[in-house]
A and B are shown apart, each in its own frame.
Chain A
């Protein structure tokens, strides 16, 4: 390592400007002569101009170099090298773990936490002795060993320093467990006797508090501690961190073109400052829509709604952006969503009657409006009218109202394919209302036992119909905290009214999920797919159950759609019925689109039951770089995958669907958002290009920059015999170093250069008369 004995002399480098100054001064001091023989002078000047310039430049540079070397000689340069006579036995293993989750990008008054941490780490690498081992690890959701090597030479030390300096803040959150497991692995494999560990982190409260209460993580920490000579946590967090972040961006319901859609943005202030008039910019497909201004108090969370009206159907992405603050990563959030032209609903009435509001679906039709202005386009058929003319793929939702016979829906007589299953797998919704026409055994056999469409097994009915003399009412209760109830949960008065609605009679349904249980705790067979959305009081039996099927959803209402078994339609609670129908139908239609909305590091996979061209598949990253997408054939279709999502932002997946595929599957017209009247011949011969937006967001929690307090720290870590520091204080014995002085060589060079300058000056004729 190069250093100087008398550093102060280096300031005399300014003297290097002297030759330039002299040159400039002399250029201003000249005599003026009126000259007659200009033609010869001009010719001479033209022929010698370049040579003279070059000569002058060489002389000027030489003179500057001479002065610079003179300054260096006086500063006495010394090269510090490790003495080759040192002990070569393995020594200490310094293991530096650097948290580079995005919260470490939080900027303080001048630098970020990560930059501060890197400064501290550099000092350890610089001080380490020869043959010490340095292991550099990162801490985030995908922890890595950045470098692991012994310092056998200065070159190796420089290489380690370079690797350390190259660590950058990622868009990942912090996965403490995975990071500590990697650290444990490194510690266990290290053969060095003295393992000195330092974790440089901002000690985010949300991460570390949870970790220190988790027995497996504590066990890992204890194991590491036992094997390490030193185990330090270096607190790189800022004393009073301030950050505002977007924690969520969601579409409320479904986006229909020509109708305002509601997007809800949640913004959280993690700090103690109050921020007035923060601009929140909302855009669709990169086009600015609106800016709202909000005021955020300390630790306050605020929801902001935007109501854009979309014009084109298909896949879009919404973006919300906050004004810059100390932590940039969570100031931006995206949402990929699908905009529909309209919601097409097929209502199958299983109990038609001649009088008004006597048929099974009359109230349903009245509640949704049949004026043609609604975005719900409802087609009502009688159960007896089901036949080849009814194509399920033309609808988004099918509502079965007390339909006794499902034969046609279950199997397409024309091509013998399971229609209802295909319909659901593609992402459509099925809402089943029961009634007196339903035979439990038939439904169980056709929809539950093998096909697993029905959310639960139908058993007996309970209660009496409204026409009976003695009625017992069952009130809707135990409303699940589920997105389907979002509007009710946000409106307490409406929820109160909901809980006053009751039914007279319903089917007892065995859903596999016991009262009070979460879906995770229900039976193995159904736990992943079934959710009880509401129960009846006093029986505690399921009132509404949801089951996921493929990409689609099935809702089962255990009572009737008409007033035969329920009182949803009375004047008193009619508004609840209307809201519930709208909310439930939108929920059924709304594609969760989870596959297109990922967190940093997650893999995008998508299944297609039709052929897409492999060669046309590609992705563009947020930086507009082209990337390849994996493609593979499955038994029943094709799957694409893209996993390089380590940066947040909007990715585009581009693919082409061959013309032949579209001609064979006209239902794809809707998938491609082609006009319905498009004839197959109008499809491009080269196929139809499709673009999907894949958005990748940061983990919102990581934006919570509140750190553990000193008291909490010392209390928690004292149990583990770990040290908390603000500065990195690993014990490093500085290696004795040998100083090699260079001033003699530089002086010799200086003399040679001076002579060269004199010689050249004479050679160039500057001193000749």
Chain B
């Protein structure tokens, strides 16, 4: 466990070039900690009972228990899904940024690979889409566990270098998705807030379940720079020569406003939002989120 955990450190993982191997390390390290599948639902394998609360579907009430105890209980089953998970990884130029070690794109690749491993292990189908201002790569859904190697190849062979236009690209993607599924978006979301939210709404309008992993670098959140700096835009030609200390307060205010608006809109649209910084260990970041999601599912 201890040996596995050390490979979950982004700095260590960065040295491992085989993404498939890294995904396995991450997920197995995580499973060994939980011993439990996070996916529960109304499937064929019974999992547990719980008390009925108004709003539950009465078709799932266990009438046998009611006959014995005069209480309404709901039967819950281990989910035997035919889930399709669509991984949407942002491969725009802003994802290149790395204040130290791993870039946001690399970190996002690990998240995608790890979750894809999990999905495929459960015999669910996974699909991959890399996008910037248009769809760069698209792997259709497949439940074959060997499909992970295709994921790894595509992720490794892509280098981010274009601008982002989320509203347009998400609209294009949603038109490609034939079946409802779980949309997992991994991005820094550096686009106009309106464009980002419009993109999310495209998925929600088609009844997709959406999870957003908002990837940020620690420097982007805290702006710790001290010296006079020429900021050279990764996605455009803008250059700003400024003292970061003087700009810090206003920058953070702008960022906070963006994040607050993003979060509140995600909640309003019933989108799962998780903000992850690239200096976090991947298993902790993933487990914290998945545990959170599992908790929600239980409720």
Residues of A within 8 A of B (CB): 26-27, 29-45, 47-48, 52, 764-766, 768-769
Contact B225 A33 (CB under 8 A): yes
Contact B235 A36 (CB under 8 A): yes
Look across to chain B and name the residue whose beta carbon is closest to the beta carbon of A55.
B246
A34-B232, A41-B240 given; name 13 further pairs at CB < 8 Å.
Answer: A30-B228, A33-B229, A34-B97, A35-B231, A36-B188, A37-B94, A38-B233, A38-B234, A39-B190, A40-B255, A44-B251, A48-B246, A52-B242
Contact A40 B229 (CB under 8 A): no
In-complex Cβ contact of B258 among A31, A40, A769 (8 A): A40
Chain A residues within an 8 Å CB radius of B240: 38, 41-42, 45
| Given known A-B contacts A26-B228, A45-B240, A48-B250, A34 and B234 have beta carbons under 8 A apart | yes
Residues of B within 8 A of A (CB): 93-97, 104, 188, 190-192, 217, 220, 225-236, 238, 240-243, 245-247, 249-251, 253-255, 258
The list of the 5 closest CB pairs from A to B, nearest first, reads: A44-B250, A36-B94, A36-B97, A40-B254, A44-B251
Chain A residues within an 8 Å CB radius of B251: 37, 40-41, 44
| Given known A-B contacts A36-B94, A769-B226, A41 and B245 have beta carbons under 8 A apart | no
Look across to chain B and name the residue whose beta carbon is closest to the beta carbon of A35.
B231
Cα distance A704–B197 when bound, in Å? 94
Q: How far is the CB of A268 from chain B (nearest CB, A)?
A: 70
Contact A33 B238 (CB under 8 A): no
Contact A37 B220 (CB under 8 A): yes
Chain A residues within an 8 Å CB radius of B234: 34-36, 38
| Given known A-B contacts A31-B228, A34-B97, A36-B97, A44 and B190 have beta carbons under 8 A apart | no
Q: List, sorted by A's number, 28 A–B pairs whose CB atoms are closer than 8 Å.
A: A27-B241, A30-B228, A31-B228, A31-B230, A33-B225, A34-B233, A35-B97, A35-B231, A35-B234, A36-B93, A36-B94, A36-B97, A36-B235, A37-B190, A37-B220, A38-B231, A38-B233, A38-B236, A39-B254, A41-B247, A41-B251, A43-B254, A48-B246, A48-B247, A764-B246, A765-B246, A766-B246, A769-B226
Contact A41 B231 (CB under 8 A): yes
- Among A40, A43, A52, residue most surrounded by chain B Cβ atoms (within 10 Å): A40
Cα distance A32–B241 when bound, in Å? 9
| Given known A-B contacts A41-B240, A42-B238, A52 and B227 have beta carbons under 8 A apart | no
Contact A37 B255 (CB under 8 A): yes
Chain A residues within an 8 Å CB radius of B227: 30-31
Contact B253 A44 (CB under 8 A): yes
Chain A residues within an 8 Å CB radius of B217: 36
Contact B228 A29 (CB under 8 A): yes
Chain B residues within an 8 Å CB radius of A33: 225, 229-232
| Given known A-B contacts A44-B251, A44-B254, A765-B246, A36 and B228 have beta carbons under 8 A apart | no
Look across to chain A and name the residue whose beta carbon is closest to the beta carbon of B250.
A44
Chain A residues within an 8 Å CB radius of B241: 27, 30
Chain A residues within an 8 Å CB radius of B220: 36-37
Contact B230 A30 (CB under 8 A): yes
Q: How far is the CB of B64 from chain A (nearest CB, A)?
A: 58
Look across to chain B and name the residue whose beta carbon is closest to the beta carbon of A47.
B250
In-complex Cβ contact of B190 among A29, A32, A36 (8 A): A36
Chain B residues within an 8 Å CB radius of A38: 190, 231, 233-236, 238, 240
Cα distance A41–B220 when bound, in Å? 10
Q: How far is the CB of B232 from chain A (nearest CB, A)?
A: 5
